[in-house]
Amino acid sequence: MDSKTYKVVGSVSDWQTWCDMANPAAAAACDWVELRVDALPADVTVEQLLAGPRPVCPVLLTVRHASEGGCRDMGEAERMALAMKLLPLATAIDWETAQLEHAQELVAAAKAAGVQVIASNHDFEKTPNLATLQQREALARSLGADVVKFAYRLHSAEDMMVGVQLLRQAAGPMAVMGMGALGAVSRLLYVQHGSCLIYGYLGDTPTAPGQWAAALCKTALASTAVPM
């Protein structure tokens, strides 16, 4: 992924919306669709996902860990097995930096299949300081991340500027987004400073606090000079 471009990622957390993404009109709301496997009903099987309707846009596969906002508490063996089986759907896969050291088999399989690895970091309480974020970036890249993603709660304008500094000094492609009351405006700001992914939701349910609807992200960004 070129760090000078961005993608609008539409996050899906229900089966019907996932099926709808096979329709080009629905898929026009985003550039990539994120399949939040952990947020789907537990009775949706891997076989259904592999045999069912496929989105017409690239797929970002996420099986989020419960400690970083996952909707389903599952063991690492189960989570890893799901990710490996669903890898054929993916253009990119999201895995938490904190868990990445123990997911090197998945990283290797993704790279062999030409699937990008996004290493994600979430803090739902606060904005970590710049040095801490940079240490996490370095760790993620050392473990095979192609893109490093940060999502953290903002409490002030000063918090928001931490992300700007982080993007300016990034060692490679990076996505940054804020959560909470300032989250929506921060997502647009960070794209202006080089964030390569901006997440919005598809369907009726946001998958993170401060998230815009994906179509609204596209509309807002279309009026800026940010390159696609």
Catalytic residue, chosen from 122, 126, 155, 218, is 122
177: tokens are 């987004």
For residues 195 and 6, the answer to whether their CB atoms sit within 8 Å is: yes
In a domain, residue 2? The reply is no
Instruction: Determine whether 111 is an active site residue.
Output: no
In a domain, residue 193? The reply is yes
Q: Which domain holds residue 13?
A: 7-222
**Rounded-to-integer distance, Cα 161 and Cα 51, Å:** 44
| Tens-place pLDDT, residues 92-106 | 999 999 999 999 999
Catalytic residue, chosen from 111, 149, 155, 193, is 149
**Rounded-to-integer distance, Cα 104 and Cα 99, Å:** 10
In a domain, residue 137? The reply is yes
Number of domains in the chain: 1
**Rounded-to-integer distance, Cα 212 and Cα 214, Å:** 6
In a domain, residue 200? The reply is yes
Q: What is the pTM of this model?
A: 0.91
CATH code where residue 72 lies = 3.20.20.70
In a domain, residue 1? The reply is no
Instruction: Determine whether 4 is an active site residue.
Output: no
Opening angle at CA 218, ends 217 and 224, nearest 5: 95
In a domain, residue 15? The reply is yes
| Tens-place pLDDT, residues 203-225 | 777 766 667 788 888 888 877 65
Taking CA atoms, 144 is separated from 68, 90, 141, in Å, by 20, 17, 5
In a domain, residue 228? The reply is no
